[in-house]
Amino acid sequence: MSFNHIVVQNILRDKWTYVSYFLSSMFSIIIFFLFTVIAFHPSLNSLDPSSTLGISLLLASMLVYLFSFLFIAYSIMAFLKKKTKTLGIFMITGASMKQIRTLVFRENILIGVMAIISAIIFGLVITPLFLLGAKVVLKAETFGMYMPMKAIALTVGLFLLLFVVISRIMTRFINKEASIQLLKSDAVIEKSIKPHYLLLFVSFIISTTLAYLLKIDHELINSFGILYYLAFFASILFTVYLIISQGMRILLKAFERSSAYLKQTNMLLASNLNAKMKSHANMLFLITLLLSGVFLSTSILFSSYYSVEKDSEANYPYSFQYIAPPKADPSKVEADIENLDKQLSTVDAQKYFIGFKSNEERRFGYMSMSDYNLLHNEKVSLGANEFIAVAGDRKMLPTTNVSDDKYLKDFKLVSVNDKNLLTTGFQQTYFIVPDDVYNKIEYPVYKAYLFELDNWTAHTELAKKIMDDFPNVYEKRYVTSKIDLYNTEMFVKSVLFFIGSMLSLIFLSAAMSLLYFYLQTTLLQEKEKYLGIRKLGLSKKELYTVVSKELAILIFVPFAIAITMLFATLFAMRTMVSAAFLQVSMMSSLCFFALFLVSYLFIRKSYFKRLLSN
């Protein structure tokens, strides 16, 4: 019998142990492959690598690859801990440590190669459908099928390298001391979790403090920069782990003292949880982290669509805005406006003409009360020495201190409007003054032609044509369009949604895969344990009850913690998020709950069936 034959037979004998590892690896490879299919698509040959789409695709591919690295590394480490009997038998028969490491290395390389080949084949099958979906989401004109040789070569090369590197590194963790532990593993009882209540309290206080500083935008954040966010992230992870591990210990101790402990099969359930408290806590922590990322990113991605129209209008209040600076050629401006009128004659549009004067050094605009009333369709009246301050930049409040302004230093501020008046950033602030005061101001005059279309979001093609026909020319004309901005932002959100959805699927699949893998690698020990208990009189129904409750804890407790963290975050940011964000979060949570319920029913049935099999 050759060594390679031993490797193959070893995999076949423990095939169920490897199923989750193989499928999860294959799924990660498929996602990476599909991203590279898009990245190398002939339609994107002219894509600027520094553009939003180029950077997004690159970052997505890196995230998928990084996640695959971490997941495969975790899987191999789990194999080293769980394949105790198989490795122990080889050691008893005289296999050296070099041979054991070679065996584990070849096993993982063989599974990796099979996962890569299967992923490429399955990826090629679904690529046409994937490209069709990408075409719709990304609003691409042409996104047809092609033979992705570059994507295949890159995927095979990178993941083959990944499997070789990880397998080689992880097998070095097998040493002489570990071998002795493996041989004695059947007699080793998992260590219980020690109480760390003070550490939990301190960790919670630190995380809460860092979160509060983030909310109030304290100067400490700016002084530490990226180090602050790393510390905050680390503290959150540590606190969550302590909450899960210490909370599990506290709840079990409280349950053992309650009257329910002696009822039905509760004693056996508590005994199981106590015996595997540490491994259960680690699994709950990992799944919670993955689900938290899925829930938060999904809520943000979906809700981002709801704010695009509002944000576009806040930046550019009008469908089209043509501003002629003081040095613009009047005849050229007149020709441009005639052309604009002609192109907009086919749609319902309102046209406005206003003027404002600008202190170009300080970027303060001065507008007459009449023009302001025309834009807002209202009748604001001002006294002889009164003015209104209106925002010129969406991100900045209007300036109200005019003590050093040569025209308004003796004027009284009567109101402040923080809603952007014209294109954001063109002027810092607009001062609305009486008409006679405006006529006396000696600053250069800017002429603004404003067009507002009915149902403006439906005219993206028209906006694209107009923006192509009227590019901005310094000191000659400045043209902006909220329709064009809306179209651009919707494209960016579509790209992020497309990428984020795929990543969410990966993390969700990883959560279920980790759980399935954990159950499969502990199946043999559980079968032996329950076989002995059944000899004492435990019925199948009682065993089914115990298994159902234990699986429910492993699946729904991380779900509940992740949902709690999501809504706690939303509550802390309640003044910063819209009602649409909350609605989307609720809807996505219900969808995920339904998905988890189906997963729970499937896993429970499959696991119980294998638990009773011979």
Going from N- to C-terminal start, the domains of the chain cover 1-189, 191-263, 276-314+489-614, 317-480
pLDDT tops 50 at residue 280:
yes
Of the candidate ranges 21-35, 184-198, 539-553, 580-594, the one whose mean pLDDT is the lowest = 184-198
Q: What are the two backbone dihedrals, phi and then psi, of residue 36, each rounded to the nearest 5 degrees?
A: -70, -30
Residue, of 225 and 405, whose pLDDT is higher: 405
Residue 431: pLDDT band (50, 70, 90) is very high
Matching residue, tokens 């510390």: 231
Residues near 410 by Cβ (< 8 Å), separated by ≥ 6? 385
- Average model confidence (pLDDT) for the chain? 79
Q: What is the pLDDT of residue 117?
A: 92
Residues near 91 by Cβ (< 8 Å), separated by ≥ 6? 100, 179, 182, 183
Residue 7: pLDDT band (50, 70, 90) is low
Cα–chain-centroid distance for residue 208? Answer: 23
Helix (H, G, I), strand (E, B) or coil at 420: coil
445-453 and 386-391 beta bridge pairing: unpaired
The Cα diameter of the chain in Å comes to: 104
HSE, side-chain direction, 13 A CA sphere, residue 506: 27
Helix (H, G, I), strand (E, B) or coil at 166: helix
Average of pLDDT values for 117-132? 85
412-417 and 386-391 beta bridge pairing: parallel
Helices (H), 139-225: 149-170, 176-183, 197-216, 219-224
List the 445-453 sheet strands across, edge first. Answer: 412-417, 386-391, 429-433, 364-368, 349-359, 445-453, 320-324, 478-480
d(CA 420, CA 368): 17
d(CA 242, CA 248): 9
Residue, of 61 and 109, whose pLDDT is higher: 109
pLDDT tops 60 at residue 143:
yes
Q: What is the pLDDT of residue 446?
A: 92
Average of pLDDT values for 469-493? 84
pLDDT tops 50 at residue 469:
yes
pLDDT tops 50 at residue 304:
yes
Which tokens belong to 167? 């397998």
pLDDT tops 60 at residue 205:
yes
Q: What is the pLDDT of residue 187?
A: 47
Please say whether the beta carbons of 426 and 478 come within 8 A. Answer: yes
Q: What is the pLDDT of residue 158?
A: 86
Q: What is the pLDDT of residue 366?
A: 92
pLDDT tops 60 at residue 181:
no
Residue 574: pLDDT band (50, 70, 90) is low
Q: Which residues of 288-323 are buried (b: 16+ CB within 10 A; e: fewer)?
A: bbbbbbbbbbbbbbbbbebbbeebbbbbbbbbbbbb
Average of pLDDT values for 157-173? 81
Please say whether the beta carbons of 438 and 373 come within 8 A. Answer: no
Q: What are the two backbone dihedrals, phi and then psi, of residue 178, each rounded to the nearest 5 degrees?
A: -65, -35
d(CA 207, CA 214): 11
Residue, of 495 and 147, whose pLDDT is higher: 147
Q: What is the pLDDT of residue 578?
A: 58
Residue 3: pLDDT band (50, 70, 90) is low
Q: Which residue from 572, 579, 498 is spatially nearest to 303, judged by alpha carbons? A: 579
Average of pLDDT values for 565-576? 70
pLDDT tops 60 at residue 180:
no
Residue 373: CB atoms within 10 A of its CB come to 14
d(CA 476, CA 409): 32
Residue 6: pLDDT band (50, 70, 90) is low
Residue 476: exposed, middle, or buried by beta-carbon count in 10 A (0-12, 13-18, 19+)? middle
Average of pLDDT values for 387-412? 86
Measured CA to CA in angstroms, residue 444 lies from 7, 133, 334, 368, 548 at distances of 83, 52, 19, 14, 78
Helix (H, G, I), strand (E, B) or coil at 14: coil
Residue 196: exposed, middle, or buried by beta-carbon count in 10 A (0-12, 13-18, 19+)? middle
Of the candidate ranges 140-144, 175-179, 199-203, 450-454, the one whose mean pLDDT is the lowest = 175-179
